[in-house]
Amino acid sequence: MKTFCVYRIFCYCTLKSYVGATCQGKKRCHRHFSDLKRGIHASLRLQNAYDKYGKHNFEFEILEDGISDDEISSREQYWMDVHWAFKNGYNSRKEAVRIPSSEEIAIWRKLRPPRGGARRCKAIVSYDIQTKKIEKFESVWAARSLPFHKGLPSTLSGKTITCAGKLWFYEDEFNEYNLEVKLSKFLSIPEGCRRFYLKPKTLRLIENTIIRNDGKMYKNGLEAARDLGVNKDAVCAMLRGERENVAGYTFKFLGN
């Protein structure tokens, strides 16, 4: 269980104190004096005193240790009152800042939106070019279980045409006009290259069974790469015809 401590920074020249609370005393001490040295400390009172009297006239000490997260705010307030940290000290706030409990932090982490801002929180729609099937997701984050979901932001912003063989739209932008625009972009691609957009080559590497030239079969290219101790990109390049062999072996998709 995480425990906290209450500390103070004491000035020998003025006999005034700055009181605070933390769960990492040494790191907090270093942070305070680092900010003071650079002249960017949050407490202007403490910063002015440090600039006037110098570091050698200040001391960092732990007032109370081993405090639970439920009691830390009240204990910090107690020591602030004892040392007059606000009225005749260097604290800029009259009351101690409440530190959230570990349970509250866990709840906030679950409820917070994913990285990427409001755009990634919007609902999205996929359109399968081959089956013409339309599928809806609550957000880019909700579609993270899909293969290569990391490419969705680029597709949604228009930098790429398809992702995982589908056209993607934000729900509020999905209409017949925008669908026709993206379909026309796809149809402008040479016919011989469209298959790479309909079923990405890397997706084939992961999903399809492949066979080695000596007859050994693998469920997918990743399994073959692990068996040979090579990078999966090498097996992928072999299957695309970009290299002659991998570790002395050749591969092809089963049925080709």
Both 189 and 248 in a single domain?
no
Backbone angles phi, psi at 6, to 5 degrees: -105, 135
Last-in-domain residue among 104, 134, 165: 104
**How many structural domains does the chain have?**
3
Task: Tell me whether residue 112 is in a domain.
Answer: no
Answer yes or no: is 31 within a domain. Answer: yes
89 and 26 assigned to the same domain:
yes
Which of 47, 73, 104 delimits the end of a domain?
A: 104
Q: Which helix (H) or strand (E) holds 45?
A: helix 44-53
Residues 124 and 82 in one domain: no
Q: Are residues 162 and 244 in the same domain?
A: no
What is the C-alpha to C-alpha distance for residues 18 and 143, in angstroms, rounded to an integer? 49
Shared domain for 13 and 100, answered yes or no, is yes
pTM above 0.85, yes or no: no
Q: Which residue has the higher pLDDT, 34 or 186?
A: 34
Domain boundary among 70, 104, 138: 104
For all residues of the chain together, what is the average pLDDT?
80
Q: Which residue has the higher pLDDT, 234 or 74?
A: 74
Residue that has been written with the tokens 């755009």 in this structure: 119
Mean pLDDT along residues 2-15: 92
What CATH number is attached to the domain comprising 13? 3.40.1440.10
Q: 206 pLDDT exceeds 50? A: no
Residue 52 belongs to a domain: yes
Q: Are residues 8 and 78 in the same domain?
A: yes
Query: Would you say residue 51 has pLDDT above 60?
Result: yes
- Classify the C-alpha dihedral 221-223-228-233 as positive or negative: positive
Q: Which residue has the higher pLDDT, 55 or 148?
A: 55
Same domain, 11 and 98: yes
Is 12 a domain residue? yes
Q: Token digits for 250?
A: 């050749």
Kindly state whether residue 59 falls inside one of the protein's structural domains.
Answer: yes
225 within a domain of the structure (yes/no): yes
Give domain status of residue 110, yes or no: no
Same domain, yes or no: 96 and 176: no
Q: Which residues contact 63 (CB under 8 A, 6 or more apart)?
A: 5, 6, 7, 8, 19, 79
Give 133-181 pLDDT, tens digit per residue. Answer: 888 888 776 666 565 556 777 788 777 788 777 888 888 888 888 888 8
Q: In this structure, is residue 47 part of a structural domain?
A: yes
Of 123, 161, 170, nearest in space to 142 by CA = 123
Residues 225 and 168 in one domain: no
Where residue 236 sits, what CATH number does that domain have? Answer: 1.10.10.10
- Which range marks the domain in which residue 24 is found? 4-104
**Is 178 in the same domain as 228?**
no
Q: For residue 33, what pLDDT is reported?
A: 93
pLDDT of residue 164: 74
Q: Is residue 69 located within the same domain as residue 12? A: yes
Asked whether residue 100 falls in the same domain as residue 163, the answer is no
pLDDT digits (tens, 9 = 90+) for 59-72: 999 999 998 888 88
